[in-house]
Amino acid sequence: MRFLLALAVVMLSAPAWAQAPLSLEGAAAPSPWQRYRDWNKTRWDNYNTLANPNRTPPHGAEIVIEQVTGDPGKGRTLAFDRKRGGGCLACHVMGPGTPETPGNVGPDLSEIGKAGRTDQWLFNYVYDARVYNPRSVMPPWGKHGFYSEAEIKDIVAFLKTLKTPARFANPLDDPAKRPKPVEDRDALDPFVNPAADHIGTGKRLFVQACASCHATPEATFKRWAVEMPRWEPRLKKVLGVEEFITRHARATSGKDWLMQSSENTDLSVYLHSLANGEAIEVDLSSPEAKAAYERGVRLADLKVGQFDFACTDCHGQAANKWIRGQWLGEPRGQFDHFPLWRTSRNQIWDIRKRFQWCNVQVRANELAPDAVEYGDLELYLRKMNEGQKLMAPNIRH
Ligand code: HEC
Ligand code: HEC
Ligand code: HEC
């Protein structure tokens, strides 16, 4: 009864041009937000997040150190240890001893020992490269506590021994020769992509909770998903497909399908699938939408987490390179296929969950899926993908 009354109020107060009823109260995601049970549990409260960018000052002063003495053997072990912050091999080739699948985000350091670098340069570059290059893609290993000063001295001693080009027994180990992955699986074949089955699950939910008001979704919503996210004046934030589902279902059918619940994700899969083949379009005509877009541009460039990475570090400066054995894609071509099945996690992910993973991966606390910042970021990235044709649900590693 309370629900019917609420509905009547929503319908009566709707303006003459039909605006979708939205529940404006409360969060659209579990609140307070708690990280997924099967993810890394560590919190990184001392480092920047997308919502709190002022926790770590950008950089300090160069440390004066004339001669570094250290143990090159220990330094090598540290540099090659993937458990310590991922090790240097994630981004550098380091001489003939380089073990399998190094990355190439950074320069090949195989001959750094005879490149004429001073000890002070090498020490500071590893301690906090930002004293030389404020936009460095290299994490501040010393400043952010990955290695002690003594350990960095050992690493520098090891770097000084590097004087011979790398040799790779297997050409696939050489990041310069490794073929980039091509995604050519048939995303709509349920035998290939388990997410394809969820179109049907989403459709059944739609029939149950939505069809009473929307009899012809195939026609009505043929372009809807490619025109999201959009600035929503009633919420004063960017509204994406999944948050729309939560707030609209709450207002119309009394369902509480929080973002990233299985119902929400399945409905998102279904509604996206209706717009397959349609070109993505982003409406930045209002000043508010334009401002949100511009905030998104800045957020993509903001360094966060213990690793001190911005989205643009990996998907801009380092795009089209290998970080460890993982190929870094460009932002263009990334937005035309969500939600998707992640074979490495055996789950369907919507775009906000991908953002969260890209935060946690750099040891930055993630935000709740309905965070304003993720909306701004989504609007910006979507704009970068304008004109791309939607193909969802898709499948990725
Ligand atoms: C995420 C990628 C990444 C990782 C991991 C990384 N580096 Fe780098 N490194 C770079 C990039 C990119 C540069 C080039 C310039 C820049 O962005 O600052 C660089 C530059 C350097 C330089 C300066 C080279 C020169 O020409 O003077 C040194 C030395 C260096 N890295 C050492 C290390 C060591 C030691 C480690 C491991 C503790 C490491 N790097 C891990 C990305 C990385
Ligand atoms: C009680 C009626 C009612 C129910 C139930 C209902 N809707 Fe709606 N919906 C509306 C109205 C009214 C609008 C605005 C006018 C229009 O677009 O038809 C709307 C609009 C929409 C839009 C386009 C809106 C926009 O602003 O971009 C989508 C998508 C949508 N609904 C999906 C759903 C889904 C999914 C469900 C089930 C969870 C659902 N609706 C349940 C009444 C309803
Ligand atoms: C440490 C590097 C790194 C950072 C920083 C990073 N990502 Fe990623 N991201 C990856 C990797 C690796 C993948 C998986 C490979 C790929 O598709 O590029 C990925 C994938 C993605 C995808 C999905 C690509 C696809 O085709 O399915 C999106 C979208 C994305 N990232 C957005 C972001 C956003 C937004 C940020 C900033 C909040 C960010 N990433 C920060 C490494 C990073």
pLDDT by residue (tens digit) across 304-330?
999 999 998 888 777 778 887 777 877
Closest CA to 335 of 244, 241, 249, 253: 241
Give yes or no for residue 25 having a pLDDT over 80. Answer: yes
pLDDT of residue 331: 67
d(CA 43, CA 52) in angstroms, rounded, equals 14
pLDDT higher than threshold 90 for residue 58: no
Is the shortest distance between the CB of 162 and ligand 1 below 6 Å? no
pLDDT surpassing 60 at residue 2: no
Report CA torsion sign: 199, 29, 235, 292.
negative
pLDDT tier at 32, thresholds 50, 70, 90: very high
Question: What is the 169 CA–ligand 1 centroid distance (Å)?
Answer: 24
> What is the per-residue burial (b if ≥16 Cβ within 10 Å, else e) of 233-244?
eebebbbbbbbb
Q: Domains (ranges, CATH) in the chain?
A: 72-167 (1.10.760.10), 186-396 (1.10.760.10)
With bands split at pLDDT 50, 70 and 90, how would you rate the model's confidence at 14? very low
HSE on the CB side for 88, CA within 13 Å?
25
Q: How far is CA 253 from CA 7, 44, 367, 381, 387, in A?
A: 9, 39, 28, 31, 33
Residues with CB under 6 A from ligand 2: 18, 20-21, 206, 209-210, 212-214, 221, 224, 245, 248-249, 252-253, 267
* C-beta of 313 in contact with ligand 3 (< 6 A): yes
Report CA(358)–ligand 3 centroid distance (Å): 6
33-53 in b/e form (b: 16+ CB < 10 A) is eeeeeeeeeeebeebbbbeee
Atom of ligand 2 nearest to the CA of 209: 37
To which residue do tokens 């970021």 refer?
A: 377
What does the pLDDT average to over 137-145? 93
**Least confident range of 65-69, 231-235, 240-244, 270-274:** 65-69
- Residue 279 near residue 388 (C-beta atoms within 8 A): yes
**Whose alpha carbon is nearest atom 14 of ligand 2?**
20
Q: Which two tokens stand for residue 253?
A: 């059918």
Torsion-angle region of 18 (φ positive above 0: left; ψ -120 to 50: alpha; else: beta):
beta
Per-residue model confidence (pLDDT) at position 159: 97
Model confidence at 99, pLDDT cuts 50, 70, 90, reads: confident
Mean pLDDT of 21-28: 96
pLDDT at 333: 66
Residue percentage of the chain with pLDDT more than 90: 74
CB-ligand 1 contact for 244 (6 Å cutoff): no
Q: pLDDT digit string (tens) for 281-306?
A: 999 999 999 999 999 999 999 999 99
Closest-approaching ligand to the CA atom of 379: 3
Average pLDDT estimate for 210-237: 97
Confidence of residue 63 (pLDDT cuts 50, 70, 90): very high
Whole-angstrom distance between the N-terminal and C-terminal Cα of the chain? 46
Task: Give the nearest ligand 2 atom to 267 CA.
Answer: 35
Q: Does pLDDT of 8 surpass 60?
A: no
138 CB near ligand 3 (under 6 Å): no
pLDDT computed for residue 178 by the predictor: 84
Q: How confident is the model at residue 332 (pLDDT cuts 50, 70, 90)?
A: low
pLDDT tens per residue, range 340-382? 999 889 999 999 999 999 999 999 999 999 999 999 999 999 9
Of all residues in the chain, the percent with pLDDT exceeding 70 is: 93
Q: Indicate whether 335 pLDDT > 70.
A: yes
Task: With a cut of 80, say whether residue 204 has pLDDT above it.
Answer: yes
Residue 11 scores a pLDDT above 60: no
Taking the centre of ligand 2 as the mean of its atom positions, its distance from the CA of residue 252, in whole angstroms, is 8
What does each C-alpha distance from 52 to 27, 55, 144, 258 come to in angstroms? 19, 7, 17, 25
Q: How confident is the model at residue 9 (pLDDT cuts 50, 70, 90)?
A: very low
**Residue 242 CA, ligand 2 centroid: distance in Å:** 13
